[in-house]
Amino acid sequence: MEFSIERGGTSGRGVPVYRQIADQIRRAVVAGALVRGDRLPTIRGLASQLGVNRDTVSLAYETLADEGVIESTVGRGTFVAGEPGPGADPSDAFASPPPLSPVVDRLLEFGRSRPSYGASNGAVPLHSLIPDPTLYPVDGFRRSLNRALAEGGSDLLVYGGPEGLEDLRAVIAERLAADGVEATAENVVLAQGASQGISLALRLFAAPGDWVAVEEPTYHNLLAVLVGLGLRPTPVPMTPEGPDLDVLSRVLARPEVKAFYTMPSFHNPMGTTTSLAHRRRLLEIAGRRGKPVVEDAFEMDLRFAGRGAPPLAALDGQGLVVHLFSFSKSLFPGVRIGSVTARGRALEGLKALKRTIDLSGVPIVQAAVADFVRAGAYDRHLAKLRKTLLARRDALLAALAEEMPEGTRFTEPEGGYQVWVELPDGLDSGELLDDARRAGVLYAPGSLFHHDGRPSRCLRLTFALADETEIRRGVRALAGAVRARQREGPRTNRDEGIYV
């Protein structure tokens, strides 16, 4: 059958491409142009025919399968599952489900672009930023939880305020003040982890249809948040020193760009940290352009080497910076506590926004975290965690230097969990992923961290879940997969690197 596809459907101005494909197949079945048992094109074949991503066709087929219109059998293909019965009203057959909002349609398509790792089958997990559960301070946190409940009683079992428990806000403010950030409990609003913090911070300054400047590459969940909020990313390329400030200045001069999101310390995915001079110039540019800066410091407590520069929020004399923090990576993700720190009118707006989306966090957990920090248990946990992360980082860097083929380059983080690796010319980390999985290692391909999902020869490796022995095994597997692909000859010629 012939398809007619209108582009631009994922922008919210029309019907998403996957729905156009599904609707046309559904209508062909209703009209009798396709009947039960007819074989549909393969996902790869139809994607090539239409000039779209395979994930788009896959989502269309998945939608039709959920409706019972088609069925797929591994090794055989995809076939029409049924047709209207005798005397049936064709308009009732395979009726389209109620339409979703354009934003949700875009989220569905965005989600399909992410790699599916499935069962790892023993593959070394160098793809994940989930901290190693064997390092969680379970016993110490249990004691803090018991103390908090004993002291707070039923007061901790009712709704708390939307800003969060004052005691924990004060604890976070004290730690920020130690880094030079002017903050009190009043300046801090608790969030359900950094992800909700990102959403709150962006909504302070941007409305659907607006643009937000982002580093390229950047945190992949940020890109999902932008889609969910109806915002558009405009990229600022990374350099060895950090985001390209000349480009940033030009981007922030555009009136439709409302804010800049950045990770100056332990950048995700690159692992890099910017200098004091770079931070000062960045703030000077933002101030001159009158644009706010969202500073994501989600791994701020995980420095294990070198000496860092003050946070942007500590250098900000104009109230430009909204600062994000999270306990998810430094304590454990299930705690779901992060913070957003702001000043002036931004703080007022932040509190107003928080009240509209969240009546309360979980006061008992917030009280337990406050106790855990005040008792000194958090800093003792951090000391052990940093020592472990340093050993794992060193194992990863050594393995990359020893095992990977010539032409491989990689960053050397001073904190956090991630290393950015650039493969030799002619390789695509997305195409290599299945080979690497079969060889026994998982990673995050570089395309995941680009606003347009373009192919990349870069990838992110983490040392969050794997110990030193597993890390060395995983890098050997990766190196073997890379060399095997090199022997086959280049399939592509990607020229996007890590800027070092």
Chain CA centroid to CA 426, Å: 26
Residue 112 lies in a domain: no
Say yes or no to pLDDT of 298 above 90.
yes
Same domain, 20 and 74: yes
Give per-residue pLDDT as tens, 114-145.
Answer: 777 765 678 999 999 999 999 999 999 999 99
Does residue 446 sit in the same domain as residue 472? yes
pLDDT number for residue 363: 95
Based on the domain organization, do 384 and 371 belong to the same domain? no
Cα end-to-end span (Å), the chain: 49
**More confident: 321 or 10:** 321
Query: Looking at the structure, do residues 253 and 294 belong to the same domain, yes or no?
Result: yes
d(CA 234, CA 231): 10
CA dihedral 315, 305, 412, 464 (to 10 degrees): -100
The model's confidence at residue 12, banded by pLDDT at 50, 70 and 90, is very low
Residues 255 and 153 grouped into a single domain? yes
In a domain, 118, yes or no: no
Model confidence band, residue 91 (pLDDT cutoffs 50, 70, 90): low
Whole-number pLDDT of residue 72: 81
Single-letter code of the amino acid located at 201:
A
Please report whether residue 1 resides in a domain. no
What is the per-residue pLDDT for 8? 55
As given in the structure block, the two tokens for residue 85 are 């019965």
87 three-class SS: coil
Domain for residue 109, yes or no?
no
Looking at the fold, whether 313 and 454 belong to one and the same domain comes out as no
pLDDT band at 9 (very low <50, low <70, confident <90, very high): very low
Q: Give 145's Cβ-side CA count (13 Å radius).
A: 10
For residue 251, the enclosing domain spans 138-375
CATH number for the domain spanning 34: value is: 1.10.10.10
Looking at residue 7, what is its pLDDT? 65
* Position 87 confidence tier, pLDDT thresholds 50, 70, 90: very low
CA distance 413 to 362: 34
Tens-place pLDDT, residues 213-269? 999 999 999 999 999 999 999 999 999 999 999 999 999 999 999 999 999 999 999
Query: Residue 442 sits in a domain of what CATH number?
Result: 3.90.1150.10
Q: How confident is the model at residue 99 (pLDDT cuts 50, 70, 90)?
A: confident
Instruction: Give residues with Cβ within 8 angstroms of 6, minimum separation 6.
Output: 14, 15, 20
In this structure, is residue 117 part of a structural domain?
Answer: no
How many domains, in total, are found in the chain? 3
**463 with 417: CB under 8 angstroms?**
yes
Same domain, 311 and 176: yes
Q: Give the residue-averaged pLDDT of 365-374.
A: 98
Distance in angstroms (rounded) separating the CA atoms of residues 261 and 263: 7
